[in-house]
Every structure is written in structure tokens, then in C-alpha cells.
Chain A
Amino acid sequence: MPLPITLTIIGLSLALALLVGFRKGISQSREGKMLAFVALLVLPVVSVWGGFEAHMDRATSTQFCLSCHIMSEYGQSLHYDDKSYIPAAHYQNNRVPRDHACYTCHTDYGMFGTVKAKFNGLHHIFVQYFGTVPKPEDIKLYKPFPNETCLHCHLGARKFEEVNGHHKTADMLDKVKSGKLSCISSGCHDTIHEVRDLKDSKFWYDPNGGELK
């Protein structure tokens, strides 16, 4: 449900609840009772559903992830003017949707990937306000980056299947596909966010705009 519609429903629900709350005797008539039922039960339930969905949807946006100060350097790392940085190359070449860049690569594509990501997010909020916040360069993934995330898009692509680098040994591609050889931590595509490099790097920003700066 688009956010404006959700806000309209919640606003309407709020107005009707206030009407029932402040207008004396409104629930005396049959129509008033029906109005109270809709205003105090049906619309609030719809509002919660719509609001929750809107929050969940917004939480997948790059802007949402970067709204925490600690993530700002990771956002900046998407602008390295150097294609050897994997996240920057993906972001700048639209290999991932720019407005959902973090979510696209950092959520498992399994059945409960989104739910797990949300629980991790709650943990991040807890650490932010009640724990010891690490330096951006000390942030680590919960587990090694899974090949499945890369393969979700690259599997079957001609360049991925045929590029010489994936055939250095006869069984290399099979190992990658089965997850026995990590795309990132095996040393082949291991230049990622590298926020320590930010100080001495050049950056690229889309001259057409339409992205975070």
C-alpha cells in the first residue's frame, strides 16, 4: 500500500475516532453504533496493517539504512571512483537498485531473509542506544557473505559463466555455485566497502542526480 494512502487511512481513522470521542450521544443511534464499530475497530486494524507494511517497505531503502550516522561511511563507499570496489561498482552501474542497494546485497534470499534482517536491525538499534557502538571500520558481518546472494543475480549470466577468471581450475565454477569457494573471502572479489580508504579516495557521483550524496 503506498504511503500516502496509508497516511490517509490512518488520518481518516483518527478523525472518526475523535468524532466518536468528542461528540456526545453519537453512539445512541443505530448509525452511530455502526460508525463507532468502524471507527474503533475496523479502521484501526486496517491502519496497523497498512502502517506496519509501510514501515517494512521503507526499511528496505538505502536512505533508511544510511539514516544511522554509523552507516554514513558505508554510504560514501558506494561512490568510490574505482570499479575494483565491488559495492561501488554494483551501485554505480545499477547492478543493484540504487534506492535499495544495502537491502539487495545484505538480505538472504531465503524464506525468512527479510525477517532475519529485521531482527538484526532491532539488534543494531539496541547496540546504538544501549551498547558500545563500534567504529565503522570495525563493523563485521554476522556470518561470511553467502555466495547465494551473488548468485541470485549472476547465476546463468553469460559473463559470469564464461569469464576466464571463473575457469582457472576445471571445477572452480562448480565450487563457487555450491558455496565451497567464496566469491568474496576467497580473495577474488574481496575489495568491498573498505571504509578505511575513504580519506585518500576519489568519488563519483551521478551527474544526472537521483542518488544519495
Chain B
Amino acid sequence: MTTEDKLRRASLIIALGLLLQFLSLLPLHPLAFIAFVGLGIPVMGVGVIIFLLTLLSHAESGNK
């Protein structure tokens, strides 16, 4: 998988997390908060971690 592909995958996962966060802010209910903390943030966090790891691996391959 190329750096470009990894980046695109990360961005789509982040987008999914952001969508969940956006939707969780529409209803006023305790479960909306649970959805924000339990789904939106973790999904987005996974995407951000993939993004950062992609940056790191790209920098390492560049140094070699």
C-alpha cells in the first residue's frame, strides 16, 4: 500500500468519526453523548493515529 493510499484510508476513517460526532450533536439525549465519546472520538482517533503513522513511515523511508 502506498503512502497516498494510507493517507486516503486515514482521511476516510477520520471523516467517519467526524460524521458520527456531527450526528451525535443533533439530538439532546444522554445516549448522544455516549455515541460521541464511545464511537465518534475512538473512530476519529484511529484515523488520526493511522495518519500520524503514515507520516512517520513516509519520513523514515525518505531518510533511507
Contact B41 A17 (CB under 8 A): no
B10, B11, B12, B21: which contacts A10 (Cβ < 8 A)?
Answer: B21
Report whether over half of chain A's contact residues are helix, strand or loop; otherwise say mixed.
Answer: helix
Across the two chains, which residue of chain A brings its CB closest to B32? Answer: A55
> Is chain B's interface secondary structure helix, strand, loop, or mixed overall?
helix
Q: How many A-B residue pairs have CB under 8 A?
A: 96
Residue from A14, A17, A45, A55 in contact with B25 in the complex, judged by beta carbons closer than 8 Å? A55
What's the nearest-Cβ distance from chain A to residue B19, in Å?
A: 6
Given contacts A7-B22, A10-B21, contact A125 B34 (CB under 8 A): yes
Q: Are B48 and A14 in contact (CB under 8 A)?
A: no
Binding site for B on A (CB under 8 A): 3, 6-7, 10-11, 13-14, 17-18, 20-22, 24-25, 27-28, 36, 39-41, 44-45, 47-48, 51-52, 54-55, 58-59, 61, 63-64, 67-68, 121, 124-125
Q: Would you give 10 A-B contacts (Cβ < 8 Å), ordered by A?
A: A10-B18, A18-B15, A40-B10, A41-B51, A44-B48, A47-B21, A51-B24, A55-B33, A64-B29, A121-B30
